[in-house]
């Protein structure tokens, strides 16, 4: 009688894919819906990779994204795992929490609604 021995992993392995949890995606899609209602955004894309997850919002689908919301868990202990990136690729805001990172876009939305 032979038995197969499976080695027990000594260290935790990285997940195969980084994604958004339900609360994060709800917050992001709520902002997206309000920007669509204001006429600013028309399309979005979600890219789930090994190292990061990216939500891209487009004014028109044929253009570069106006904003990218990036979740990179590897930066959790350094500069925060959330980043808001502009159209040119510059980091506009970075932090550990999603809410403050989305604040510049939400302020822009308030100006659109008030004006």
Question: Which residue ranges make up each domain of the chain?
Answer: 22-114
Look at residue 94 in the predicted model and tell me its pLDDT: 93
Residue with the larger pLDDT of the pair 114 and 68: 68
* Cross-strand pairs, 58: 43
**How does the average pLDDT of the chain come out, rounded?**
85
pLDDT of 5 > 70? The answer is yes
pLDDT of 11 > 80? The answer is no
What is the token pair recorded at 78?
Answer: 């350094």
Look at residue 110 in the predicted model and tell me its pLDDT: 75
- The confidence band for 10, taking pLDDT boundaries of 50, 70 and 90, is low
What share of the chain has pLDDT > 70, as a percent? 84
- Segment 15-29 shows an average pLDDT of 89
Alpha-carbon distances of 6 from 3, 9, 12, 46, rounded to whole Å: 10, 9, 16, 36
């Amino acid at each position: 009688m032979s038995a197969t021995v499976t080695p027990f992993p000594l260290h935790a392995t990285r997940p195969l894919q980084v994604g958004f949890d339900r609360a994060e995606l709800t917050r992001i899609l709520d902002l997206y819906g309000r920007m669509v209602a204001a006429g600013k955004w028309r399309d979005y894309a979600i890219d789930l990779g090994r190292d990061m997850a990216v939500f891209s919002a487009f004014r028109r689908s044929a253009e570069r994204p106006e904003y990218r919301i990036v979740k990179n868990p590897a930066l959790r202990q350094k500069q925060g795992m959330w980043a808001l990136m502009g159209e040119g690729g510059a980091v506009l805001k970075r932090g550990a929490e999603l809410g403050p990172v989305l604040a510049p876009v939400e302020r822009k939305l308030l100006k659109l609604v008030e004006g």
